[in-house]
Amino acid sequence: MGTLTIMASGTNEALKHTGSVLSALSEKLYVIKGGCGAGSAVKMVNQLLAGVHIASAAEAMAFGARLGLNTRMLFDVIRHSGGHLGMMFENRVPHMLDNDYTPYSALDIFVKDLGIVTNDGSSRKVPLHISTVAHQLFLSGSAAGWGRCDDAGVVKVYETLTGVKVEGKVPILNKEVVLKSLPSEWQVDPTDDIRRLNHNNSKILIVLDDDPTGTQTVHDIEVLTEWNVESLVEQFRKRPNCFFILTNSRSMSSEKASALIKDICSNLCTAAKSVENIDFTVVLRGDSTLRGHFPEEADAAASVLGEMDAWIICPFFLQGGRYTIEDIHYVADSDQLVPAGDTEFAKDAAFGYKSSNLREWVEEKTVGRISASNVTSISIQLLRKGGPDAVCEHLCRLQKGSTCIVNAASERDMAVFAAGMIQAELKGKRFLCRTAASFVSARIGIIPIAPILPKDLGINKERNGSLIVVGSYVPKTTKQVEELKLQRGQILKSIEISVDKLAMKSLEEREEEIKRAAEMADLFLRARKDTLIMTSRELITGKTPSESLEINFKVSSALVQIVRQISARPRYILAKGGITSSDLATKALEAKRAKIVGQALAGVPLWQLGPESRHPGVPYIVFPGNVGDSKALADIVKCWARPSRISSTKELLINAEKGGYAVGAFNVYNLEGVEAVVAAAEEEQSPAILQIHPSALKQGGIPLVACCIAAAEQASVPITVHFDHGSSKQELVQVLELGFDSVMVDGSHLPFKENISYTQYISFLAHSKDMLVEAELGRLSGTEDDLTVEDYEARLTDVNQAQEFIDKTGIDALAVCIGNVHGKYPASGPNLRLDLLKDLHALSLKKGVFLVLHGASGLPEELIKGCIEHGVRKFNVNTEVRKAYMESLSSPKKDLVHVMASAIEAMKAVVAEKMHLFGSAGKA
């Protein structure tokens, strides 16, 4: 990035000025003598030096800013120049650079202290010029209203007088410019080497994850939510490359988190000893953009596992837009890189921090126990120019007990580091890693896979709605929820729960709020509606970090209670936020282990719940609070929504062709008919087609069509809606706009050439809407819905004409006439030309067209099977279903609802029988 070039040519003059100001302090050491006691005199000298140090520090930094220097870099250069600057300079200048004037020693104290010094100097006739000027500066600051600010606030006087800003925040950078300025990546992908090294290394990588979001870069790996010795022994015996243990420690106090990590590490050691040839490396996956219990968890792990050669700090996470460059950790926001200390994450009520520089972050979090100057780092230059061997060499040179920052700006950087670290481990080095998710996948050599879709898990047949639970409060989550409601608000059912009632009001109000939400959610899910449960968006925090954690606990535990009280099995569950997703998995869903299937979206883990959970096998989407753009949540919910139609008519017939069976198309006229077909299909696990004849459309109109479409959408098996015997161009053009999946163009009453022209016209329009087109060649005798075709008008399908017809019309399915009739067959029984059907089947296979047989009512089983063997994939059924309906009306009933129920059962029995006859039962 060339940050050193930010310093202007006046650097030497600025440093000389600073040095001259500080050296002038020595003139004060001789002036106070006699008259006062030694202790009081020393105190007065100390007051003078402290006040002048702070004032001169403010003057130096203001002068540097006026010269156009990067003040933070100026401070670093002075601090590391080798000279002794004094405690006040090193302590107070960071306050000025951070623009943080939280009072440690208020500015007014130096108004008082330097006032005493200057008064005493005056009474003793000692000219204290520097002290007097410093006193005037503090007086000016107090008069300006900064008296109760930290004494470093005296710099504001200079800022006001000179119009400069001393604050030395790390600048926001252009992401594209920065990434292009970096050296080219290491030319070799080390993933294969990592896998080979891991095989030789034989250490199992165990990831202690402080929330479930750390699984966001891996797949085909197990995550445990319990860690007793027996479970760990079972896991070790599987000898996996890696597994996760979900600790959820970020929701705990530091004391409880430390005790938990000690307990887990002790159990790991015990379990490892009981399994032959087992060794492991622990990763504390808990970055969450630098939030979490550090160094407490690392200290706890080391107290059990023993001293490490180094602690590795590696928060790079590509999918979360988190980069570490020149030891500064950035969070990507659109096309910018924002220093982590300036993001909303740094303002976390429980885990807040100020430093974006990871060296300084370590010093800040360890409260000075590990100074920034003692933290080493691996640069991007070393990764990209030296490769894994250089990483290994660097790690092996570290003093025991070191802390090492890993810079990274790409997945390749991460893989290079991982390969070098494994080499160092093979040489006997031991490391304790605190990292984000990207390190884990790099360390075990995982190759990313595409996001998992609902069809990959076979959940499209699930009938209930999905459950989305949002507990995260980061601004990104709030934006994502707003976008979700904007895009899906008309479909999605939203339940907002009051955080005030859950955390701040009486127990009675809390329980009532929980009960209300659970009952509503259960009803919505059973009504097959995707359901959002979200906490109210007003953030309520405590006065202290521990109070904030307690509020978080009350809210999270309430979400657990709500989900526990929901008895409906959701299609899938999405939990938004680390703590929320952890608590729901372990406490509400009672999962003891789950399989990490992959990701639902980049950086969004997807689990399948284990057999012991309340909803075995249900997909569980763990959506981190800080991942994705504003549309990410809406994108997942839209992608994972239950399809409006499970299949198209064409898909039904393709599957029938592959499976060697046929699908029944059942004519329906009212709600009872629709219910009978859908109920039979679901009970028999069969695909089916709801078919509307023109006469039925004339009577039932658009409500009948809407009823069929809604039933098809809500069914748990593939059901489509077909318009039958469209013999009018005007009628069919209108039908194409009503939402049917497929249409039959019936020009069989027309001369051959006119039939082709008519069918061709409608076929073009229907295909533009992705609708399957069926047409009839030849003509059936018999009666259907008051339309009678006399025997002398009937015509069998001609094979030669069929070939020309198919070629010129582009139809998808051909209704053939082989002696079949509409309505009842004669007393002598049906006389079907199976030889003709055989020839038509040969043609249909060649042309990729499905064969359809109208008039299936009354056909015996052997003829049905013969037709299926010769390629019939759709049978139209009408007469027998209508007959069952009419006969059910003949027996008296108490009420209309009983008449309807009886009719449904009668028709359902016929439909179910046909499904078994056609071979479609069990094929859904």
Please, are residues 154 and 138 in contact by the beta-carbon 8 Å criterion?
A: yes
Residue appearing with tokens 């050669």: 309
724 is catalytic: yes
pLDDT at 211 over 70: yes
SS3 451: coil
Q: How does residue 98 score in pLDDT terms, banded at 50, 70 and 90?
A: confident
The pLDDT of residue 11: 42
| Averaged pLDDT, 530-545 | 85
pLDDT at 13 over 50: no
**pLDDT above 60: residue 892:** yes
CA distance 659 to 873: 10
User: Dihedral of CA 206/212/213/215: which sign?
Assistant: positive
Instruction: Measure the CA dihedral 865/871/874/875, to 10°.
Output: -40
Average pLDDT over every residue of 472-486: 88
pLDDT single digits (tens) 220-248 = 999 999 999 999 999 999 999 999 999 98
DSSP code for 594: E
Q: What is the pLDDT of residue 145?
A: 93
pLDDT single digits (tens) 635-689? 999 999 887 666 799 999 999 999 999 999 999 999 999 999 999 999 999 999 9
The two structure tokens encoding residue 826: 């004669």
What local confidence, expressed as pLDDT, does residue 310 receive? Answer: 97
pLDDT of the residue at 358: 95
Higher-pLDDT residue of 436 and 23 is 436
Q: What is the pLDDT of residue 36?
A: 45
Tokens of 864: 């049905």
Over residues 484-491, the mean pLDDT reads 90
Q: What is the pLDDT of residues 70-81, one digit of tens each?
A: 888 888 788 777
Phi, psi of 849 (to 5 degrees): -115, 145
Pairing of β 279-285 and β 203-209:
parallel
Q: What is the pLDDT of residues 719-753, one digit of tens each?
A: 999 999 998 999 999 999 999 999 999 998 899 99
Structure tokens at 602: 């980049």
Q: Where does the pLDDT of residue 7 fall: very low under 50, low under 70, confident under 90, or very high at 90 and above?
A: very low
Q: How confident is the model at residue 6 (pLDDT cuts 50, 70, 90)?
A: very low
pLDDT (mean) for 579-592: 90
| Mean pLDDT, the chain, integer | 88
Residue 28 confidence (pLDDT):
41
The pLDDT score that the predictor gives to residue 5 is: 34
Let me know: does 362 contact 324? Beta carbons within 8 Å: no
How does residue 520 score in pLDDT terms, banded at 50, 70 and 90?
very high
pLDDT of amino acid 84: 65
Q: How are strands ordered across the β-sheet holding 173-174? A: 173-174, 336-339, 328-333, 322-325
Tell me the β-bridge partners of 735: none
**Angstrom distance (rounded) from CA 130 to CA 117:** 11
What is the crossing angle of helices 671-684 and 879-888, to 10°? Answer: 110
Say yes or no to pLDDT of 495 above 70: yes
Return the pLDDT at 79. 76
Under 8 Å CB-to-CB from 478, ≥6 apart: which residues?
A: 537
- Is residue 38's pLDDT more than 90? no
pLDDT band at 287 (very low <50, low <70, confident <90, very high): confident
Greater model confidence, 681 or 459: 681
Higher pLDDT, residue 551 or 428: 428
Q: Any idea which of 106-110, 169-173, 672-676, 726-730 has the lowest mean pLDDT?
A: 169-173
Residues 249-286: pLDDT tens digits?
988 899 999 999 999 999 999 999 999 889 899 999 98
- The whole-model pTM stands at 0.66
CB 358 within 8 A of CB 328: yes
Please determine, for residue 468, whether its predicted confidence score (pLDDT) is greater than 80.
Answer: yes
- Contact criterion met (CB below 8 Å) for 189 and 412: yes
Range scoring the smallest mean pLDDT among 250-264, 344-358, 650-664, 864-878: 344-358
Catalytic residue among 327, 724, 741, 812: 724
pLDDT at 796 over 80: yes
Q: Which residue has the tokens 């190759």?
A: 447
Lowest mean pLDDT among 391-400, 418-427, 849-858: 849-858
- 328-333 and 336-339 beta bridge pairing: antiparallel
Tokens 């109210």 belong to residue: 536
Cis previous bond, 212, omega within 30 = no
User: What pLDDT, on a 0 to 100 scale, did the predictor assign at position 330?
Assistant: 96
As separate numbers, helices (DSSP H) first and strands (DSSP E) second, the chain gives 33, 30
